[in-house]
Amino acid sequence: MKSTDDTNVMPPPVRILFVDYSETVRRMLRFVMSVDLELHVCGSAGNGADAIRQYLDSSPDVILLNVEPVASGNETVGAIRKLDADIPIIMFCTLTVDTEATVHALTRGATDYVPKPGVSGHLNDVVGYLKATVIPKLKRWGRWFQGLRQKRLLQSQNGQVRPFAPHISAISDIEAIEVVGIGVSTGGPSALAHVLGAIPSSFDVPVLITQHMPIHCTRFLAERLNATCHLEVREAEEGVVLGPGQAWIAPGDQHMVTRRNRSGVTLHLTDDPPENSCRPSADVMFRSIAETFHSRCLAVVMTGMGKDGLEGCREIKHHEGLVYAQDEETSVAWGMPRAVIKSGIADRVVPLPEMAHAIMSIVNAHKVREAREMVPT
């Protein structure tokens, strides 16, 4: 008799489209994936144009995209994002060579990246690396997208519409915000481009950003954002004095903290041990701005895996500062924001398209109050 136990039903295999100009790499990927019953190669392309055609024909769950050649890789990301805002696009890159191009692709909407194996490795080592590092990431993102598809299907069948993200707690007696701290990880470069790109150069307070990225990548991310945003975006440097209209990104492999002295508030970089397996860590940055600015700080926790930022946000709430978190629907990875929201310390849950407005509104709130106080009664 056939079992009706759903726990024994295998989920459908993850449908993968991989794009690489090298036929050798494509053959290697197909070989490794063909022996894994949880994967199904639904397409293999050697260039961006062919990738778009196969994407439309094969309906993949995840795309593995070589960043080379640079123009083709970035154009392909942009073209796919116009067709589908959510499908995971994983950049397959050599970080020592392709760092700038990879960061560019991430700001254009790529979801994540995975380093290529060394070209000098033995064949068995390369296969072992693909199985241990690349395949698990493809499975994880593919399963996530399958779940998202199923959720949307059920919502459409039930006539559900995504509700506006609510206020979790009422905000009263708002202090003048003097700094905005943003903690972000997976999906962060694109989210940062969206938020920072909507903030004008006249923004009154500095923005401090901890984005989980390897060394060197953060510099290219800052350069990319600086070229496309109104704010001045830089990789943080030791001893710089914070000022309005600036955004500082913590360097890869260093924590970023603040200190108040005669010059004002300055940035400092430390090699202290990682927290939550992260350096830089959002927890370290949030704790620091809480100690420096007390209630006059806003922490924003955006898309990312894990729970980095949670304990730092607790410290900000202890000092009566504010905490915003990105909603699940618009997060690429809803780990960091979820941890903050589930703990009950988020003052607002905000969709990505509304985050810049939410930040600017709260920073400008004291101006409105001061203007009202100047009006005679």
Residue 320 CA, distance from chain mean position:
26
With CA atoms as reference, report the closest residue to 191 among 352, 334, 74. Answer: 352
Query: Does 112 lie in the same domain as 185?
Result: no
Total tally of structural domains belonging to the chain:
2
74-82 own/partner pairs: CB under 8 Å, 24+ apart = 74/101, 74/104, 74/105, 74/108, 75/48, 76/19, 76/48, 76/51, 76/52, 77/105, 77/108, 77/109, 77/110, 78/108, 78/109, 79/48, 79/52, 80/51, 80/52, 80/55, 80/109, 81/108, 81/109
Q: Is 50 known to be catalytic? A: no
- Separation CA 40–CA 311 (nearest Å): 40
Domain that holds residue 143: 11-158
Cα 303 from Cα 336, distance rounded (Å): 7
* DSSP letter string, 39-64: EEEEEEESSHHHHHHHHHHH--SEEE
pLDDT block averages, 10 residues each, the chain of length 377: 52 93 88 92 90 89 80 77 88 74 86 80 83 93 89 66 40 76 95 94 95 92 94 97 96 97 95 96 98 96 96 96 94 94 95 94 71 50
Kindly tell me the burial class for residue 305, based on how many C-beta atoms sit within 10 Å of its own C-beta (0-12, 13-18, 19 or more): middle
Same structural domain for residues 317 and 209? yes
Please say whether the dihedral angle defined by the alpha carbons of residues 358, 361, 366 and 368, taken in this order, is positive or negative.
negative
Distant-in-sequence, close-in-space partners of 89: CB < 8 Å, separation ≥ 6: 62, 63, 65, 77, 80, 81, 105, 109, 110, 111
User: What's the angle, vertex CA 223, arms to CA 244 and CA 213, rounded to 5?
Assistant: 100
Shared domain for 58 and 191, answered yes or no, is no
Q: Are residues 197 and 151 in the same domain?
A: no
**pLDDT (0 to 100) of residue 367:** 59
Catalytic site residue from 308, 327, 331, 347:
308
- The active-site residue out of 44, 190, 212, 255 is 212
- How far is CA 149 from its chain centroid? 20
Q: Which of 158, 193, 210 is the last residue of a domain?
A: 158
Q: Cα–Cα distance between 294 and 337 in angstroms, integer?
A: 22
pLDDT at 83: 83
**Quick one: pLDDT at residue 155?**
67
State how far the Cα of 251 lies from the Cα of 234, in Å rounded to an integer.
10
Angle at 344 between CA 195 and CA 299, to 5 degrees: 30
Asked if 210 and 354 sit in the same domain, the reply is: yes
Q: Which amino acid is at 152?
A: R
Whether residue 235 is contained in a domain is answered as yes
DSSP string, 58-98: H--SEEEEE--SHHHHHHHHHHHHHH-SSS-EEEEE-HHHH
Distance (Å, whole) CA 231 – CA 206 = 9
Name the residue type at position 244. Answer: P
Q: Is residue 213 helix, strand or coil?
A: coil
For the domain that residue 305 is a member of, what is the CATH number?
A: 3.40.50.180
Phi/psi of residue 207, nearest 5 degrees: -120, 125
- Is 331 a known active-site residue? no
E strand or H helix at 192, and its extent? helix 188-196
Q: Is-catalytic flag, 230? A: no
Per annotation, catalytic residue among 44, 72, 185, 190: 185
User: What pTM did the predictor assign?
Assistant: 0.78
Q: Which pLDDT score, from 0 to 100, does residue 73 have?
A: 65
Q: What is the predicted pLDDT for the residue at 148? A: 83
Residues 236 and 112 in one domain: no
Q: Are residues 34 and 80 in the same domain?
A: yes
Q: Indicate which CATH number applies to the domain containing 94.
A: 3.40.50.2300
Cis geometry, peptide bond prior to residue 280 (ω within 30 degrees of 0): yes
Per DSSP, 167 falls in state B
Looking at the structure, tell me whether residues 261 and 360 fall in a common domain.
yes
Task: For residues 145 and 227, state if they share a domain.
Answer: no
